[in-house]
Structure 1
């Protein structure tokens, strides 16, 4: 979902990160606000409008962080692990691991964000009214007024009952509680979400041909993002139902290709990397796992020196997230692959390599189970 991002700080123990795409929306919102403030408060220096625009935009994204923090704190109190909060092109997202444990948890988690936005909108509206009554600087009142309006807009938009918006998650929690079936509730809520996404796309096209080029493109992009997010949300529920409770050993290859630590890098590349078309190999000797070797290890070694170095010299002894237990949940294996970008994990029992589980094998099983058992219906 995200590209390059930077970790900023922790808030209530939750990591706050910034995706590179956020810089685009920061610039667009700042530029738009500059034009708004120039029209509402004429006769000021250009630098003053830019300060107001940038300050308002930064404060708005601070409000987005608080909105997502509301989701994250309630989710964490309901037993859901939180990877963090990330600001990106379309706002912000609290990255949760898995689905809520109950419809009640889903409802409380979903409504927490809009509650925060409502409080912020009222707070900034009250401060703006106070500023007007006490003759604060017109620039300060202008910033406060727009922060109230922006938070109110976020509140209203997010309460639209279209999954995965907050309103759509509230709807899903109600349907889930009524039916007792998370998959069916998600399918209904995601269907409404996709319908709303298509409406945004259609309205964006109309706006584009009505000479509102930037607004039309922006609405279309938001619509496409929501459509993808609704589809992805439903797929995640199907995946969870199919894989949860299935042990990794069921999907692993019990006879993986291993590399001896004494092999030189030249022969490793020719006989293993080019032959099996893989980037990561387990290194084992006499049945004992000693580490892993990745093609990244070649980056610091000139090609002509490959025959002079052995696997043992450059292999990594710490397996880290590349290792998983054979009795671990297959859903955990898939989540780890998605989180790390790895397509294969070493299945280990102590210092013994007992197999390798691949993303390809997990996806093949998922497709077969969904097709045969009709989970997508």
Structure 2
């Protein structure tokens, strides 16, 4: 889902990050508030004041999103669901789960925590706004706090839509899960509603564009497309977990993997291995034991005319733990490692011996075959 991310800080053990796409949203919200919202409702203020109000409103909005996602994460941790952190991105924020909730009750409590926190903030800001007089020195502050009251209640209402993976969709999934005791079926129904709402938002966006509201229409369309795609992806992830649950990495391991002897020259390595196989990284093996790893970036540090003077052993470095996995490990762990590191292959190692290679392609081909068979058999 995310590209380059920057870690901002830690909040009670949860890493808060921003995706680069968030900067687009930050600029758009600041501009909209400074040039549209605040001048419309609070007339006669200096232009610079409107920009300060816009910036303050945008920062307050993103702090509200972090607060919303923090309560999702806090409840998840309370019930033993691993959380990877909170990420701000172009469509708001997300609390990234390391695993699915263990039961319907946990799903419900995690999902409802976010909207409740936003409602709490909304009414809190509303109460503060009532206490601030509408006088010149305090008018900008009153305007920003009034906006934060409004936007938090909107945030809660939007998230309560029964459109998976929004909070309302997760609440719907928890209810169906509790009723049927089947997370797969519950996710399927919730994903249907998510896709429906996503398509509805896209249609609303197109209609808005034709009615002259170009910017609003584009946002409705893009958000609808995001909700629709996220709903479908979430369902696929649940299917993947169900199909691969309990499956060992050893079941998907390709034996007799390509490896590099430590005694050959760098020139031989480039000519006979890198140019032939085009892998990002190669295991270095001696007497069936893995002694390290080598990649082309290490070779680039050696002048071309010296390649025949150096051996692979000299350049090989210890293989990173995230590039190796045990044949007894759960396949879902292998997928998690691949996702974290951007790799599509992992070395399968046991007692320092290279057993083989597990690839994302092989795992997904198995998943696809299982889905085709279940569809054929009518499951």
Is TM-score (shorter-chain normalized) higher than 0.5? yes
1:287 aligns with 2:288: yes
**What corresponds to 2:12 in structure 1?**
12
Q: Within 2, Cα distance between the matches of 1:308 and 1:138?
A: 75
**What corresponds to 2:110 in structure 1?**
109
TM-score by length of 2: 0.96
1:370–1:376 contact (8 Å) kept in structure 2:
no
- Once the 2 structures are TM-superposed, how far is the Cα of residue 339 of structure 1 from its aligned partner? 1.8
Distance 1:238 1:33, change over 3 A: same
1:84 aligns with 2:93: no
Q: Within 1, Cα distance between the matches of 2:53 and 2:233?
A: 38
- Once the 2 structures are TM-superposed, how far is the Cα of residue 305 of structure 1 from its aligned partner? 4.0
Deviations 1:255-299 (A, max 9, x none): 111101222222212211221231111111111111111223234
3-state SS of paired residue (1:353):
strand
2:5–2:20 contact (8 Å) kept in structure 1:
yes
Deviations 1:107-140 (A, max 9, x none): 0000010011011101110110111389870000
**What corresponds to 1:183 in structure 2?**
184
**What corresponds to 2:213 in structure 1?**
212
1:264–1:306 contact (8 Å) kept in structure 2:
yes
Q: Within 2, Cα distance between the matches of 1:13 and 1:284?
A: 40
Q: Within 2, Cα distance between the matches of 1:320 and 1:3?
A: 23
**What corresponds to 1:96 in structure 2?**
97
**What corresponds to 1:235 in structure 2?**
236
Q: Within 2, Cα distance between the matches of 1:117 and 1:99?
A: 23
1:15–1:84 contact (8 Å) kept in structure 2:
yes
Deviations 1:168-201 (A, max 9, x none): 0000000000000000000000001000000000
1:145 aligns with 2:150: no
Distance 1:99 1:145, change over 3 A: same
1:161–1:167 contact (8 Å) kept in structure 2:
yes
2:204–2:220 contact (8 Å) kept in structure 1:
yes
Gaps of 5+ in 2: none
Deviations 1:294-331 (A, max 9, x none): 22323434444433433222222042200111100011
3-state SS of paired residue (1:211):
coil
1:326–1:348 contact (8 Å) kept in structure 2:
yes
Name which of structure 1's ranges 144-153 and 71-80 shifts more when overlaid on structure 2. Answer: 71-80
1:324 aligns with 2:316: no
3-state SS of paired residue (1:31):
helix
Root-mean-square deviation (CA, aligned residues, Å) is: 1.6
**What corresponds to 1:31 in structure 2?**
31
1:347 aligns with 2:348: yes
**What corresponds to 2:314 in structure 1?**
313
Gaps of 5+ in 1: none
Deviations 1:74-124 (A, max 9, x none): 111111111111000000011101211000010000001001101110111
Q: Within 1, Cα distance between the matches of 2:104 and 2:212?
A: 44
Q: Within 2, Cα distance between the matches of 1:301 and 1:153?
A: 58
